[in-house]
A and B are shown apart, each in its own frame.
Chain A
């Protein structure tokens, strides 16, 4: 069964450092998403990406965040200057169409710890 792949699985970084989280969505999917989940809290939407541009973003996705699809397979989330409160599990997801009834396939996540 096709999977969404995320690397690394764990990342520890110092406050103020830049991090890049990587995702390889399912190959025939067109819509890509980043979500985050702070420990013990709900899954929160960050950004959606379609046709090489951001289609929607939440209030969380401020100027510290950016996304990019540098080639035909990777989808990245960059946090420019990490803060302690950025510590969370970051999930990438993809879907074939934005209105699919088969849900979104999530990757296994990157656990980011900011110290």
Chain B
């Protein structure tokens, strides 16, 4: 089966750091993605991890532990425009597929 869990909501203030966790149980694994989605808009790609460790890209970093089925997205120096849903998605290649399986998303609210 496939299960991807992340917190439903988080709040933070401008300039702060926030960590959004994601745990997954999938039949296969060929990469974990983080997407940002503003209300009513398409998901936009943020990061990709396939090996254990930390990937840093500007204010955003993503971490993966395959043995624990765990990832997090770290957002630094938060800005109001970071208020959005953050989607954790796993590519499950157990059926030789390339599709992404998404979690329900974490809605982040950034206040001043």
Asked if B43 and A106 sit within 8 Å, CB to CB, the answer is yes
Q: Which secondary structure characterizes the binding site on chain B?
A: loop
- Any chain B CB within 8 A of the CB of A95? yes
Total B residues in contact with A, Cβ cutoff 8 Å: 27
**Which chain B residues in 85-99 approach chain A with CB under 8 Å?**
87, 89, 91, 95-99
Rounded to whole Å, the gap between the CB of A90 and the closest CB of chain B is 11
Query: Which residues of A are in contact with B by a Cβ distance under 8 Å?
Result: 31, 33, 41-45, 48, 50, 55-56, 58, 89, 91, 95, 98-99, 101-109
With A91-B43, A103-B35, A109-B42 already in contact, the answer to whether A56 and B102 are too (CB < 8 A) is no
**Complex Cα gap A33–B98 (Å):** 9
Chain B residues whose CB sits within 8 angstroms of the CB of A108 once the complex forms: 41-42
Rounded to whole Å, the gap between the CB of B80 and the closest CB of chain A is 22
Instruction: With CB as the reference atom, state the residue of chain A lying closest to B89.
Output: A43
With A48-B97, A101-B48, A102-B48 already in contact, the answer to whether A107 and B42 are too (CB < 8 A) is yes
Asked if A48 and B98 sit within 8 Å, CB to CB, the answer is yes
Instruction: With CB as the reference atom, state the residue of chain A lying closest to B104.
Output: A42
Rounded to whole Å, the gap between the CB of A11 and the closest CB of chain B is 15
